[in-house]
Structure 1
Amino acid sequence: MSNLATLPKNGSLATKNTVSNFPSLSTWFDDFSFSDFPSLFSSNFNTGISLPKVNIKELADAYVVEMAVPGLKKTDFNINLENTILSISAELKEEHEDNDEGYTRREFGYSSFKRTFTLPESVDDSKINAKYNEGILHVHLPKKEEAKKKPARTINIS
């Protein structure tokens, strides 16, 4: 039986060109950084922005949704409630034009996201409120009185 490929001792199939200091094509791709293109490789093509990270906490009297969305203003958000579906979205449009020494440069950008959550029946939807502070959107979802956890108590035996 014959071997179709002879492997070097380092286990790789390719060998470096030791005659010149010119890098091989495979090392160019290894060194190429995709971090220079964050909107192209790390985000959703349809929306132009990656989905923000969310923390959801349950407290004794409420649920709290915290969404990390730095760089926005509170007027950029749309928070809607339809039946038991809470949706949080934002849409940004940017346009910039420079006219300098006969050159015109126009740049524009569009980005958006939408997150939806199904609320439990225990949420009092008439008292939902939200605030935006230091890049974090806080949505407070109070529980109905009957759903709030009652403190532990000792029951006396008669």
Structure 2
Amino acid sequence: MALIKFPTKAVNTDGVNPFVNSVFDNLFNDSFITDRLVTRVPAVNITETQDAFSIELAAPGLQKSDFKINVDKNIISISVEKKDENEVEDKLYSKKEYSYTSFTRSFTLPDTVNYSSIDASYTDGILHVKIGKKEEAIVAKRLIEVK
């Protein structure tokens, strides 16, 4: 059996074809491509208390007006569509970057939801949606005496 030593990072492999390496480095380090490869669906926490459900959606950098919350039958959808334009002018060229932020998260609501008591607020980069329960769905706590 023969042991073959493979080159490590210490060996200069750019000498083989520096053009190919620089093209791949530029391609994979380009923010335009890497931003689109990363999913942009925000994280969600869903909790349930005795009288309500709570949805917390982490979406920093947005405004209250960017959110659209729709309820259709037993599905609540939270969506955002935002467009940013940045223009940087330097020496002999002009560079223009467009940034689109959009996502939609949908959740199925249970039968115990009171559709008239849904409230939403946006503070510190977190969207809070509180969904109340129907009165008959709220279980009254009481102590049962053993006889």
> For the superposition of Structure 1 and Structure 2, which TM-score range results when normalised by the shorter chain?
0.7 to 0.9
Q: Structure 1 length normalisation: TM-score?
A: 0.72
| Counterpart in the other structure of 2:6 | 15
Q: Which runs of 5+ in 1 are unaligned?
A: 1-5, 44-49
Deviation at 1:78, TM superposition (A): 0.3
1:39 aligns with 2:35: yes
Q: Which residue of 1 aligns with 2:139?
A: 149
Identify the structure with the greater strand proportion. Answer: 2
> Within the alignment, does 1:77 sit opposite 2:67 as a pair?
yes
Task: State the 1:144 CA deviation.
Answer: 0.4
Deviations 1:44-91 (A, max 9, x none): xxxxxx111111101000110111111111111000001111000001
Deviation at 1:115, TM superposition (A): 0.4
Report the counterpart of residue 95 of structure 2 in structure 1.
105
* TM norm structure 2: 0.77
Deviation at 1:150, TM superposition (A): 1.3
- Superposition pairs for residues 121-136 of structure 1, below 5 Å? 121-136=111-126
**CA-CA distance at 1:151 after TM superposition:** 1.1
Distance 1:15 1:69, change over 3 A: same
Could you tell me which of 92, 107, 121 is aligned with 1:117? Answer: 107
Give the 3-state SS of the residue equivalent to 2:54 in structure 1: strand
Q: Work out the number of aligned pairs and report it.
A: 135
Judging by fraction of residues, say which structure has more helix: 2
Name the CA distance, whole Å, in 2 between partners of 1:75 and 1:136: 14
- Higher gyration radius (CA): 1
Q: SS in structure 2 opposite 1:39?
A: helix
Output the aligned Cα RMSD.
2.9
Give the SS at the match of 1:124.
strand
Cα distance, 1:105 vs structure 2: 2.8
Q: Which runs of 5+ in 2 are unaligned?
A: none
| Residue from 59, 76, 79 that aligns with 2:49 | 59
Aligned residues with identical type, % of pairs: 39
SS state at 1:146 partner: helix
